[in-house]
Structure 1
Amino acid sequence: MAVSFDLFGTLVRAPKPADPARAIAAELESRGVEVPDDWEVAYRTPWIDAPEGAEVPLPAHVARALSARGVSVPENAARRAVIAAFDPDVERREGAVEAIAAAREYGPVGLLSNCSVPELVSRTLIRAGLRGEFDAVVTSVGCGWRKPDPKAFKAVAAELDVPVADLVHVGDSPDADGGIEACGGRAILLDRVALPAVPERLAER
């Protein structure tokens, strides 16, 4: 058996920008990028044709949106602007450390997070005091697939060296995190179980 955890909304609170397009635009302009007048429209337009369930890295989307408007982007500017726009204030949730410690009693512990922003998960773990707590950290931007796609759960199971059917996944989203059940694994969902009660639920399993 192995246990994986979702990050955002499960172990930490880290609010997203209220207006991501505007936040990214401000960071682009601070880096000397001329943002088009219709940036809001360009940002909301899909530019990359990805398979269902695949993750599109947000910097790639931003770069394509700018290119479609004839804006030349300096190397790495889109990436740095996106990372800065989403750089979060982080609050670790009550019970997070205890839940991770309890999970470790049953086998390896992983993190599986939907996140289209490079570096965001690693920065969040550092700020939450959770760096080094996991045997494997898998992000959708890293593995290429978002929960609930089975490939995302299979990716973290492979990193933990267990069959996906032996994985218990803890998360806050029935739609995304509950997808583990379609892979034969088990879900502990925080819409039914409070995070401080996760150790007890793991013991029951």
Structure 2
Amino acid sequence: MPAVSFGLFDTLVEADLPADPAAAVGEELRARGVAVPADWSDAFHETHVDAPAGAEVPLPAHVSRALASRGVAAPGNAARRAVVAAFDPEVRTREGAAAAVATARERGPVGLLANCAVPELVGRTLVRSDLARDDFDAVVSSVACGWRKPDARAFERVADALGVTPPSLVHVGTDPDVDGAVTGVGGEFVDARESFDGV
């Protein structure tokens, strides 16, 4: 039986994420008593974790390493709390998204496959949308599974969670270069940039 997975951001929902993540995180770090270095923007945009190609680096780990590269320690879980607070968006559900998910559920298992380096953000986004966690048989985020689309392992993880082989996966998204990479594992890509008519 085929299964359908949906992207989250820009596919099912539009979210007001920070235009300048470095500045947003820096502000939240200062609010938690962390001495943010003067060249924080430079530090934030440098690579600090030697991760394999296609791997997701959790943003709190990146922030902690960026601070450490400038000799600054973030006490306790300040880096994680600052990141979570910085990414606290207003969410709008795209027109037709809820109906598309409901239609897909009538045909087989349905999953969510989201590129997201911020812990808790996928769950909070769903809570603020017209969708619910229970609308999906599996929710896979890159921060949890360790791999980002377009890496094949991201699609393999959601297919496995849905109990199907990757060639049985139909992935609905809005970025042909990222979401469309499902074809590399034998699956099918549905482009939802304009509407969900093809779902």
Shorter-chain TM-score above 0.5? yes
Amino acid at match of 2:45: R
| 2:184 aligned residue (182, 186, 190) | 182
- What is the match of residue 166 of structure 1? 168
The CA deviation string for residues 50-107 of structure 1, in whole angstroms up to 9 with x for no partner, is: 1110001110000000011111111111011001101111001110110001101211
Matches within 5 A, 1:136-175: 136-175=138-177
* SS of corresponding position for 2:135: coil
C-alpha distance in 2 between matches for 1:48 and 1:61? 7
Equivalent residue, structure 2, for 1:79: 80
1:132-162 Cα shifts (integer Å, max 9, x gaps): 2100000000000000111000000000000
**What is the match of residue 116 of structure 1?**
117
Uncovered stretches (5+) of structure 2, i.e. residues with no partner? none
CA RMSD, aligned part only?
Answer: 0.9
SS of structure 2 residue aligned to 1:121 = helix
* Aligned-residue identity in percent: 59
Structure 2 match to 1:42: 43
Partner of 2:130: 129
2:59 maps to 58
- Offset of residue 194 of structure 1: 1.2
Letter in 1 for 2:144: G
TM-score by length of 1: 0.94
Instruction: Report the secondary structure of 1:33's partner residue.
Output: coil
Distance 2:181 2:18 in 1: 27
Q: Secondary structure of the residue that 1:29 maps to in structure 2? A: helix
Q: What is the distance in 1 between the residues matched to 2:12 and 2:31?
A: 32
Q: Check the 8 A contact 2:11/2:174 in 1, yes or no.
A: yes
Distance 1:182 1:19 in 2: 33
How many residues align structurally? 197
SS of 2:54 mapped into structure 1? coil
Cα deviations by residue, 1:146-181 (Å, 9 ceiling, x for unpaired): 001110000000000001100000001111100000
Deviation at 1:15, TM superposition (A): 2.2
Compute the displacement of 1:190 (Å).
2.0
Q: Which residue of 2 aligns with 1:6?
A: 7
Q: Tell me which residue corresponds to 1:105.
A: 106
Q: Secondary structure at the match of 1:111?
A: strand
Where does residue 69 of structure 1 map in the other structure? 70
Q: What amino acid sits opposite 1:19 in the alignment?
A: D
Query: For the Cα contact (< 8 Å) 2:169–2:187, is it kept in 1?
Result: yes
**Poorly superposed stretches of 4+, deviation over 6 Å:** none
5+ long unaligned stretches in structure 1: none
